[in-house]
Amino acid sequence: MTKPKTRSKARTVLPIWLSAMLASTFVVSGITVVLLAFLTLQEAFAHPLNPLEGNAVAQAAEDVAEVSLPPLDQESDIEPPTLEPGLPTPTPIPTTIPIPDSDRITVLLVGVDRRPGDPFISRTDTMMLFTVDPDTNSAAILSIPRDLYVVIPGRGRDRINTAYVYGAAGNNPAGGAALAMQTVEYNLGIHVNYYLAVDFSAVENGVDALGGIDVNVPVTINDPLYPDHNYGYDPLYIEAGPNHFDGELALKYARTRHQDSDFHRASRQQQVVLAVRDKILALGFGEMLTRAPLLWAQFSDGVRTDMSLEQMTNLAILANEVPAENLHTAVLGPGYVSNYTTEQGAQVLILDNYAAADLIQELFYGTGQ
């Protein structure tokens, strides 16, 4: 079984303002730091980035997902799909693990496959869970493959990347986030506190405003089928070794998958997360303060979240207290999933809940040591 990766970089103690700006480097491929940089301008401190009327996410969850989860000691009445001979058998549907008294915060990051001019409603191209536990001084990032075949509450079985668009029906991004969060909880047994959704422009503009990022590419990338913004192709070639990426190339590196697999792409996305974090640390507080207005202007339109800036600041402070050796990354890849063909002929992935249980326990309910 693949163990989660641990970063081995010396711990850095940062001023509280820079700590605040670092929160979303973990939460949104490193780019959301600009939201907290905006705190230095003393505006909109205690309001959500995209204000929602009342508790809109909770209400949307009630509206779009009305499945009653069975108690832990009971079998779910939801039947797994009928499989052809020789295909893997899905494991029983899990329920959320009981959460002990804890200050742990878990955020669902979704990257929305949204082209210029499209509404903020689409399948999620990226799904990551970021968790930080102040009690154990640990944090983790878990990437979820978009082709994972799951039960979407109130909808039945489908790929996990469709949950957001189902819930967002009627131009309701908050409903999309609510259903995506419920779907993750229902199938992985991980409680999710908040969501943060970003589109392509947020990633590109955020990296550009930082002056680019440095990434060590392990294997040469040659993807002649990389999609452009007009549903055509924009061939991609990146040589192995040290590379400096602007926003466009960082996004392409994080999205390409035709050469290898969705699992490799998830690892590249985590690389981008950590590269942006490293760039912000290298720039330092003074330079980030100088760039804050540009970062905000370039980035804010491509983000949706139910966290207020104050909540993100608190998250940043918690994240900054985590030493690098307690920051773990993992992907639900080989060893945790099996290939499966649906009755309609779609190629999807089935989660082996028993195999994934130890990983989830370690990252989200363990000691972090």
What CATH number is associated with residue 333?
A: 3.30.420.590
In sequence order, what are the residues at sequence separation of 6 or more whose Cβ sits closer than 8 angstroms to the Cβ of residue 57?
174, 177, 178, 181, 195, 306
Query: Does the pTM exceed 0.75?
Result: no
Phi, psi of 127 (to 5 degrees): -135, 120
In 3D space, the residue among 113, 252, 95 whose CA is nearest the CA of residue 188 turns out to be: 95
According to DSSP, residue 58 is labeled H
Domain-located, residue 319: yes
In sequence order, what are the residues at sequence separation of 6 or more whose Cβ sits closer than 8 angstroms to the Cβ of residue 364?
104, 106, 129, 131, 140, 142, 190
Domain-located, residue 298: no
Domain-located, residue 352: yes
Domain-located, residue 274: no
In 3D space, the residue among 213, 211, 301 whose CA is nearest the CA of residue 253 turns out to be: 213
Q: What is the extent of the structural domain holding 52?
A: 5-67+78-199+305-364
Amino acid present at 256: T
Give the per-residue pLDDT at 213: 93
Based on the structure, what is the number of domains in the chain? 1
Domain-located, residue 212: no
Give the per-residue pLDDT at 6: 54
Q: How many CB atoms lie within 10 A of CB 193?
A: 15
Beta strands in the chain (DSSP E): 5-6, 105-112, 124-133, 138-143, 149-152, 156-159, 194-199, 213-217, 221-223, 236-238, 241-245, 303-305, 327-331, 337-341, 347-351
Enumerate residue ranges in the chain where pLDDT < 70: 1-101, 113-123, 229, 260-262, 285-286, 288-289, 292, 296, 298-300, 309, 316, 320, 367-369
* Tokens standing for residue 72: 């832990």
Domain-located, residue 279: no
> Dmax of the chain from CA atoms?
62
Q: How far is it, in rounded angstroms, from Cα 110 to Cα 124? A: 6
Domain-located, residue 190: yes
Domain-located, residue 225: no
Q: How many CB atoms lie within 10 A of CB 117?
A: 6
Beta strands in 144-281 (DSSP E): 149-152, 156-159, 194-199, 213-217, 221-223, 236-238, 241-245
